[in-house]
């Protein structure tokens, strides 16, 4: 479970996120939506422990900054940043050591195969295209064997086959009881994935829906109804 309570973050005099609270229960896929500058990235970075903030963030009931919480948490940032001098395989090996993950070599091979990266294992970080970096970033997150996973615009830069595979993996994670939070602009990409959605605007959550409450309405219909925009 992922819980955010009274989260606030300011940059100088600019309030990026103002007293935001929401939670994603175990085994559900949450979607964080909002226009540019709404504060989504600030929330994502706060959950990932990359920002100072006010309020509380809990992962599986533990403070997000605690080592135990970090061990079960995986993060796929919007812009992947590889270590230039580490190969794809070494990135995963590092993750295995850092998280004390019990993932086996066969499982690593399987993840790499799923994302068509098995022949790129010896490529260095600075030799990868943006799409490949995104795939490695996802592979590393999966190598953690997380209980909570955070994906920030995960589809950007991926080819159609990888997008399809990622969707399958998200559904598979959900079925295994993993909590998933996805921040995205690409509403149609997450249409069949979500269980609960949150819409942000100007640093606040302006509304949320569960799949049941939505009564079959599209994500973009719900989104534009809450933000006051028009559906194209």
Partner 1 sequence: MKALIYLTKRSFINNLKRAVRKPSTLIAMIFGIVYGIFVVFGLGTLVVSVHIDSANGLLAILAVWSIYSVLGNFMMYSSRKGIIFRPGHAHFVFTAPLNPKLVLISSAWMNYVLSLVIWLVVGIAAFTVFGIQPLRALLIVFMGCVLELALEVAVMVFLYTNDNIPEKLMKGIRMAIKVFLIAFALGIVLYFRTNGLTLESAWNLLDLPALQIIPVIGWQIAVYRLILLGPTVLNIVCSILYLAVVAVSVIAAVRMKCDGGYYEDAAKFADDYADIKNRQKNGEMVFSLSGKKRSFRRVREKISGRGAQAIFHRQLLEYKKERFFFFDKFTLVAIVIAFVFSYGLSDAAVESGAGQLFLLGVVAYVSLVMSGYLGKWENELKNPYLFLVPDTPLRKMWYATLTEHIKAFINACIICIPIGIFWHVPVIEIIFCILIYVVIQADRLYTTVLAQCLLGDVFGKTGQNVLRMFIQMALLGVGAGAAVMIGVFINIDFIFPIVLIYSMMVTVAMGILASLRFDTMEQLV
Sheet strand arrangement including 62-63? 14-24, 2-11, 54-59, 62-63
Q: How far apart are CA 204 and CA 92, in angstroms?
A: 36
- Judged by CB under 8 A, which stretch of 74-82, 108-116, 183-191, 194-202 contacts partner 1? 74-82
Q: Which of 73, 115, 194, 198 binds partner 1 (CB under 8 A)?
A: 73
* Residues 88/91/95/98 CA torsion (nearest 10 deg): 160
Residues 6+ apart with CB under 8 A from 80: 130, 133, 134, 136, 137
- Judged by CB under 8 A, which stretch of 14-22, 79-87, 175-183, 209-217 contacts partner 1? 79-87
194 binds partner 1 (CB under 8 A): no
Q: How far apart are CA 76 and CA 48, in angstroms?
A: 9
Q: How far apart are CA 7 and CA 5, in angstroms?
A: 6
Q: Which of 3, 93, 116, 118 binds partner 1 (CB under 8 A)?
A: 93
The nearer residue to partner 1, 99 or 223, going by C-beta atoms, is: 99
Kindly state the smallest distance separating residue 42's Cβ from partner 1, in Å: 11
Q: Which of 82, 148, 196, 200 binds partner 1 (CB under 8 A)?
A: 82
75 binds partner 1 (CB under 8 A): yes
Q: In the complex, which residues of this chain contact partner 1 (CB under 8 A)?
A: 48-52, 65, 67-68, 70-71, 73, 75, 77, 80-87, 90-91, 93-95, 97-100, 124-125, 137, 140
């Amino acid at each position: 479970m992922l819980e955010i309570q009274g989260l606030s973050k300011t940059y100088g005099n600019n309030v990026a996120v103002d007293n935001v609270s929401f939670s994603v229960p175990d085994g559900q896929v949450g979607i964080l939506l909002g226009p540019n500058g709404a504060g989504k990235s600030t929330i994502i970075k706060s959950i990932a422990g990359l920002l100072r903030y006010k309020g509380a963030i809990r992962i599986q009931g533990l403070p997000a900054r605690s080592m135990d919480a970090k061990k079960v948490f995986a993060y796929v940032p919007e812009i992947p940043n590889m270590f230039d001098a580490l190969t794809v395989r070494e990135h995963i090996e590092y993750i295995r050591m850092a998280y004390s993950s019990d993932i086996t070599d066969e499982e690593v091979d399987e993840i790499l195969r799923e994302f068509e990266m098995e022949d790129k294992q010896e490529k260095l970080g600075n030799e990868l295209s943006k799409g490949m970096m995104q795939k490695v970033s996802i592979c590393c997150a999966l190598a953690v064997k997380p209980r909570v996973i955070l994906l920030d615009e995960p589809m950007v830069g991926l080819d159609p086959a990888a997008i399809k595979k990622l969707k399958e993996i998200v559904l598979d994670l959900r079925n295994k009881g993993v909590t998933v939070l996805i921040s995205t602009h690409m509403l149609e990409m997450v249409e069949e994935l979500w269980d609960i959605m949150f819409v942000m605007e100007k640093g606040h959550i302006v509304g949320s829906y569960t799949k049941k409450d939505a009564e079959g309405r599209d994500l973009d219909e719900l989104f534009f109804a809450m933000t006051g925009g028009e559906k194209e």
